[in-house]
Structure 1
Amino acid sequence: MEASKPNYLLPIISKMYCSSSQVVLVVRQRPQAVGGGGFVVTDCSQKVVFQVDGCGILGKKGELILRDGDNILLIRQLKGGLVQALNIYKKWKGYYDYEGLEKSVFSIKEPNKNACFPTNNPVRISIEPKVNGQVKDWNFEIKGHFPDKNCSIVDSLGNIIAQVGVKEEIERVMTRKDLYHVVVQPGIDQAFVFGIIAVLDYIYHESTWC
């Protein structure tokens, strides 16, 4: 049975990034010559909606910034030394600048391929603070394969909240997936979605990684 579509407003960063209708946004990665430069997100009229800066611009590995003109999110890979090396997951955290203070809004668990007991579990995302009555210890996960630009962000009930894809006519002329689109469902926080995509981009050594 197909999961029902979500019918809610999900302002994880802010309700100003939620739309009452489905939104299709386009991601254009910066050229490889700009090592770790990041990517730009535009709408159907080619207006820049978000920009993600990677380590080539920030000068720090494992750190990303999502902007809409102003900084929205600071995303960091947590450094855990030996504990992280042994853990089956690596962890990222997204922080929202709230009245000059860094407020943790989500965390991402990336399966650690270098751990003693590596896992094939998907990348999973948790909202912070946790929701009362939450059954699972995660709220969203990635289904599909991001490097192929064929994946979805799915909630814990199996509903797709955002989908990454490449139009067929573009795919035929491109060997790399430097230009792709993201379909965000109504009521879903677009800044949150692109914070997740920024981490996926880094994990798979794409435009934000250096």
Structure 2
Amino acid sequence: MGSEVSVRAIISKEFCSKSEVILNVRKRPNAINGGGLIVRNCSQEVAFRVDGCGTLGLKNQLIVKDASDNSLLLIRKQGGVVQALSFYNKWKGYSEDYEGTQKPVFSIREAVLCFSKRCPIRIYMEGKHCTRDWDFEIQGSFSDRDCVIKDHNGTIVAQVGVTEDIVKTMLRKDVYYVVVQPGFDQAFVLGVIAVLDNMFDGATRC
């Protein structure tokens, strides 16, 4: 018998699989529902959607939805005086409970004074999932669709890449895959991907 898969549910156990999951991400044209991302599973069924400001009409705000169009995560970029005085660009992700109350789940910080596209971007969890330091780190270049999300122990939990037939075409930034490791929360990973897409002038950004 194989070892039991450890489930790391952040949004919901519903989005944690006992086996590796490959999600195909495609840019949604601005002419269709205001742009954003559409995410399909290996059966080519819609698994998630990401709406950006083209749909929402609000700059620096993103929503991750499931296949039934239910909102899973609301993500906002910090602004105002606090952001202007900060050394980081900071995003915060919120989930909603059954009463509609928003609960902070994670924050993502990108160093403002970073002159390399491969500078680490770190993720800090809220509540019961948090540690004393950063919890996850993006290593590599999302701009090139070649990066990984690692936890604090250095374990890869998700990887972003491009298939060989796409890598040399102009579509490499519009069509790519995300491999999520067994037991890890796919909805959370898509929340991170949504922020990275916005950071690097993707389909969610106006």
Structure 1 length normalisation: TM-score?
A: 0.87
Partners of 1:35 and 1:209 within 8 A in 2? no
Partners of 2:10 and 2:129 within 8 A in 1? no
Q: 1:176 & 1:165 partners in 2: Cα distance?
A: 9
Task: Provide the alpha-carbon RMSD of the alignment.
Answer: 1.9
Q: 1:110 & 1:95 partners in 2: Cα distance?
A: 18
Partner of 1:189: 185
Deviations 1:39-74 (A, max 9, x none): 000011110000000011100111000001211110
Relative to structure 1, the CA distance from residue 36 to residue 88 in structure 2 (aligned partners, 3 Å threshold; closer, same or farther) is farther
Question: Which of these residues, 134, 137, 144, is aligned with residue 141 of structure 1?
Answer: 137
Gap runs ≥5 in structure 2? none
Task: Write out the 4+ residue segments of structure 1 that deviate beyond 6 Å after TM superposition.
Answer: none
SS at match of 1:20: coil
Question: Which of these residues, 2, 8, 11, is aligned with residue 9 of structure 2?
Answer: 11
Question: Which of these residues, 21, 24, 31, is aligned with residue 22 of structure 2?
Answer: 24
Residue-pair matches, total:
197
Residue 31 of structure 1: how far off its partner (Å) = 2.5
Q: Is 2:150 the partner of 1:154? A: yes
Q: Is 2:65 the partner of 1:67? A: yes
SS at match of 2:143: helix
SS at match of 1:27: strand
SS at match of 1:29: strand
* Counterpart AA for 1:112: V
Q: 1:15 & 1:119 partners in 2: Cα distance?
A: 38
Structure 2 length normalisation: TM-score?
A: 0.89
Q: 1:20 & 1:67 partners in 2: Cα distance?
A: 22
Partner of 2:92: 93
Residue 173 of structure 1: how far off its partner (Å) = 3.2
Partners of 1:34 and 1:56 within 8 A in 2? no
Relative to structure 1, the CA distance from residue 141 to residue 154 in structure 2 (aligned partners, 3 Å threshold; closer, same or farther) is same
Question: Which of these residues, 43, 46, 58, is aligned with residue 44 of structure 2?
Answer: 46
* Counterpart AA for 1:76: R
Residue 34 of structure 1: how far off its partner (Å) = 6.0
Gap runs ≥5 in structure 1? 1-6
Partners of 2:12 and 2:185 within 8 A in 1? yes
Partners of 1:35 and 1:207 within 8 A in 2? no
Partners of 2:50 and 2:63 within 8 A in 1? yes
Residue 175 of structure 1: how far off its partner (Å) = 5.0
- Identical-pair percentage: 53
Q: Is 2:103 the partner of 1:103? A: yes
Relative to structure 1, the CA distance from residue 143 to residue 123 in structure 2 (aligned partners, 3 Å threshold; closer, same or farther) is same
